[in-house]
Structure 1
Amino acid sequence: MMKIIRYRTRPEAAEENQRLVEKVFAELRAERPEGLRYATFRLADGVSFVHLVAYEGDGDPLGASAAFAAFQQGIGDRVAAPPEAGEVTLVGSYRLFG
């Protein structure tokens, strides 16, 4: 399964959003869940974020992450519009996902 999630934060919430995302990656580095590949990008406008997530198997390993739960908890207050999420199919990659 591979997904892409895109959203724009409110300008005053962009730094907090990045801080919460960084906590997710710190937890993932410590716990090293198997089968998960995940990347987050902050776009040049400073308020737009794109998350790419890929995982093997049936369960989403991010669902077990306390830091990810904390990130999701206040997302509605940080974004300018609801996040857009969808499944994607990888056509090609060079070292991005292993």
Structure 2
Amino acid sequence: MGALIVTYKTHPESADENERLVADVFAELNATCPAGIRYAAFRLDDCVSFVHVAMLDDDLPNPLAASAAFAAFQRDLAGRCAVAPLPVGARLVGSYGIAED
């Protein structure tokens, strides 16, 4: 299971809209319960920075690729961002209560 961490900063006036769009993605994931993904998103205390952590099963297609809510989130992401998203691959070293099987 590979991990992807994405960080970015929104414009202050776009941060609440971005949070709403992220919440829509999680509402869809909770409604459809797709296999092969563990996903978390955080809004940092500066109120404009976001961190997304996705752990994807290597043997299954990425369910976000078929997500209408994720497509809506991505649609004007560049326009909402003051600092563009920076995706970085990662390898899980350990976790407690977050990435349990």
Q: Which runs of 4+ in 1 moved over 3 A?
A: none
Question: Residues 64-83 of structure 1: matches in 2 within 5 Å?
Answer: 64-83=66-85
- Report what 2:65 is aligned to: 63
- Counterpart amino acid of residue 92 in structure 1: G
Offset at residue 3 of structure 1 (A)? 0.2
- Report what 2:48 is aligned to: 47
- Counterpart amino acid of residue 8 in structure 2: Y
* Cα separation, 2, equivalents of 1:82 and 1:47: 12
* Cα separation, 2, equivalents of 1:30 and 1:60: 16
Higher normalized strand content (fraction of residues): 2
Gaps of 5+ in 1: none
* Cα separation, 1, equivalents of 2:3 and 2:45: 24
* Cα separation, 2, equivalents of 1:25 and 1:41: 12
Offset at residue 59 of structure 1 (A)? 2.2
- Report what 1:28 is aligned to: 29
RMSD, aligned CA: 0.8
* Cα separation, 2, equivalents of 1:43 and 1:2: 20
Offset at residue 58 of structure 1 (A)? 4.8
Paired residues in the alignment total 98
- Report what 1:96 is aligned to: 98
- Report what 1:5 is aligned to: 6
Q: Give CA-to-partner distance per residue, 1:28-61, whole Å, 9 cap, x none.
A: 0000000110000000000000000011125211
Query: Larger deviation: 15-24 or 53-62?
Result: 53-62
* Cα separation, 2, equivalents of 1:97 and 1:2: 11
TM score, norm. by length of structure 2: 0.94
TM score, norm. by length of structure 1: 0.96
Gaps of 5+ in 2: none
